[in-house]
């Protein structure tokens, strides 16, 4: 039988509280508890510093709770004393006597009060077991804080100093002072920008030629000044009229024009023109709607058609539908007539169309005069010659048509666009081999035989001999 009294569970409102029975100082449980505590302390004291650093570190609160839980469990154990157990108890007592002074004076931790929460029990155990959770003060010294063996988790948790939240009022005049500073900085920046703009304007007014130390040379010299020492021994006879030199500008106006060349106008594509027209019409419609909303213009009348007659004039339709239909038809006719009149007003009269056509021809010729020479074999008929002549007049081309038996030459000159159309006429549109070149022979007999003489390509054809640009017209 064991001399230790078993733990008794008392019923209270804290059902998870276990109250151990009173323990005598001479009981086996106390001896065993002292033995285990002494072994724990001796093991940690005998450990070398290098080995202690290699152990996994744990937070102090976690170590404290785990060790206190183990002690609580040990205090409630029942130790059986028999023949073999008495020998172990005596050995533990002898071991406890040989421990360091202070360790054998440890007493059993008294049990917690009955009416105590779990949280309070843990706090009480932490307070009583602080002496078992020592830490080396040398590791916490300032010189070892920055060392490689420093572990911040070994230190006790330091309470953070919470700043006291106070009401901070804005001092009178602080915002106005800040605004004055911003305005002063903006004024300084504005003055600097004005000075910078004045410098740029003065630099633009100063021409580039005014910065030169002497007047620009308008004519190229025979020899430059740095080549004058080496002009001895030059063979003058090799210089002849075959050497061409570009004509230098002879006056200041031509020199100024060369400095500032004229930039040609940008020709837009068809898609770009359509996009500009669409954007312009949208802007005009938006402006018209805004004028109607502001009352500056009168809103247009609703566009009534036969398809939307019942929807637009629903109330009036029921009274006199025949009159409304006639009215809608008359409005449709008026709109169509106004559309035709607007188109006729935009049309050009014959004189204006002629002037516009001549203006286009002049623009085509201003780009450059081109010439083409065509060779026509065989004798062309008068119909073909009339086509060539009338098309040349319509395209405002000049030139001549030379006939010599089976050898014919056509020379034309004019604008590039007109000449391109005339070339298409000569090479593709005119059938040089036609039915007019066929002959019909009748025999004297009852039967009629058709003998058709076809002119081969070698006998009648047209081909382009030469095409290029010339300096000016040679024909009128």
Six-digit token string for 390: 């009338």
DSSP type of residue 316: H
| pLDDT single digits (tens) 411-442 | 999 999 999 999 999 999 998 875 444 443 43
| Residue 119, pLDDT score | 80
| Residue 450, pLDDT score | 39
State how far the Cα of 218 lies from the Cα of 253, in Å rounded to an integer.
11
Question: Nearest to residue 302, comparing CAs of 337, 327, 338, 339?
Answer: 327
Question: Nearest to residue 381, comparing CAs of 441, 455, 465?
Answer: 455
Q: Would you say 413 and 369 are in contact if contact means Cβ atoms under 8 Å apart?
A: yes
Give every CB contact of residue 419 below 8 A, 6+ residues apart in sequence: 370, 371, 372, 395, 397, 412, 413, 467
Considering only the C-alpha atoms of the chain, give the largest distance between any 2 of them, rounded to a whole number of Å: 169
CA atoms within 13 A of residue 260's CA, in its CB half-sphere: 6
| Residue 168, pLDDT score | 82
DSSP type of residue 111: P
| Residue 417, pLDDT score | 93
State how far the Cα of 125 lies from the Cα of 71, in Å rounded to an integer.
10
| Residue 231, pLDDT score | 73
Neighbour count for residue 447 (Cβ, 10 Å) = 5
The DSSP result for 182-234, as a single string, is: HHHHHHHHHHHHHHHHHHHHHHHHS-TGGGSSSPPP-S--SS-GGGGGG-TT-
State how far the Cα of 387 lies from the Cα of 304, in Å rounded to an integer.
53
| Residue 284, pLDDT score | 95
Question: Nearest to residue 348, comparing CAs of 336, 338, 359?
Answer: 359
CA atoms within 13 A of residue 196's CA, in its CB half-sphere: 6
Q: Would you say 149 and 53 are in contact if contact means Cβ atoms under 8 Å apart?
A: yes
Question: What CATH number does the domain located at 369-432+458-475 have?
Answer: 3.30.70.100
| Residue 138, pLDDT score | 45
| Residue 445, pLDDT score | 41
| Residue 187, pLDDT score | 92
Q: Would you say 228 and 221 are in contact if contact means Cβ atoms under 8 Å apart?
A: no
Cα 134 from chain centroid?
A: 64
State how far the Cα of 82 lies from the Cα of 86, in Å rounded to an integer.
6
Backbone angles phi, psi at 126, to 5 degrees: -65, -40
Give me the sheet containing 398-404, strands edge to edge: 398-404, 407-414, 369-377, 461-470
Residues of the chain under the 50 pLDDT cut: 1-2, 7, 11-12, 14-25, 53-61, 64, 71-90, 92-93, 96-97, 99-106, 135-139, 209, 435-458
């Amino acid at each position: 039988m064991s001399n230790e009294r078993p733990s008794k569970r008392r019923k209270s409102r804290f059902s998870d509280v276990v109250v151990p029975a009173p323990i005598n100082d001479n009981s086996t449980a106390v001896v065993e508890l002292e033995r285990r505590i002494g072994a724990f302390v001796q093991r940690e004291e005998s450990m070398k510093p290098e080995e202690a650093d290699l152990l996994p570190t744990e937070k102090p609160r976690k170590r404290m709770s785990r060790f206190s839980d183990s002690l609580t469990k040990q205090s409630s154990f029942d130790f059986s004393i028999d023949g073999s157990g008495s020998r172990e108890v005596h050995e533990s007592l002898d071991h406890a006597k040989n421990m360091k002074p202070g360790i054998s004076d440890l007493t059993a931790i008294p049990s917690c009060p009955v009416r105590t929460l779990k949280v309070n029990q843990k706090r009480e155990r932490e307070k009583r077991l602080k002496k078992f959770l020592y830490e080396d003060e040398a590791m916490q010294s300032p010189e070892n804080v920055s060392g490689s063996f420093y572990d911040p988790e070994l230190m006790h948790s330091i309470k953070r100093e919470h700043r006291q939240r106070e009401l901070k009022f804005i001092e009178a005049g602080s915002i106005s002072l800040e605004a004055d500073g911003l305005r002063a900085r903006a004024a300084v920046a504005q003055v600097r920008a004005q000075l910078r703009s004045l410098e740029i304007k003065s630099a633009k007014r100063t021409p580039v030629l005014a910065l030169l130390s002497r007047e620009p040379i308008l004519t190229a010299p025979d020899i430059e000044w740095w080549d004058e020492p080496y002009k001895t021994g030059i063979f003058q006879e090799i210089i002849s009229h075959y050497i061409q030199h570009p004509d230098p500008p002879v006056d200041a106006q031509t020199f100024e024009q060369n400095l500032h060349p004229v930039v040609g106008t940008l020709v837009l594509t068809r898609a770009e023109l359509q996009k500009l027209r669409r954007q312009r019409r949208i802007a005009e419609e938006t402006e018209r709607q805004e004028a109607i909303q502001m009352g500056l213009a009168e809103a247009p009348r609703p566009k009534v058609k036969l398809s939307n007659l019942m929807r637009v004039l629903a109330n009036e339709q029921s009274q006199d539908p025949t009159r409304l239909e006639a009215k809608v038809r008359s409005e449709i006719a008026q709109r169509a007539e106004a559309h035709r009149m607007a188109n006729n007003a935009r049309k050009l009269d014959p004189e204006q169309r002629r002037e516009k056509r001549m203006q286009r021809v002049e623009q085509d010729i201003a780009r450059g005069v081109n010439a083409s020479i065509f060779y026509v074999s065989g004798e062309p008929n008068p119909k073909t010659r009339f086509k060539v002549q009338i098309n040349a007049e319509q395209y405002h081309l000049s030139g001549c048509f030379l006939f010599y038996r089976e050898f014919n030459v056509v020379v034309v000159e004019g604008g590039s666009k007109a000449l391109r159309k005339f070339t298409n006429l000569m090479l593709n549109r005119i059938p040089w081999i036609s039915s007019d070149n066929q002959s019909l022979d009748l025999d004297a007999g009852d039967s009629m035989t058709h003998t058709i003489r076809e002119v081969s390509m070698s006998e009648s054809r047209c081909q382009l001999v030469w095409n290029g640009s010339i300096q000016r017209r040679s024909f009128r």
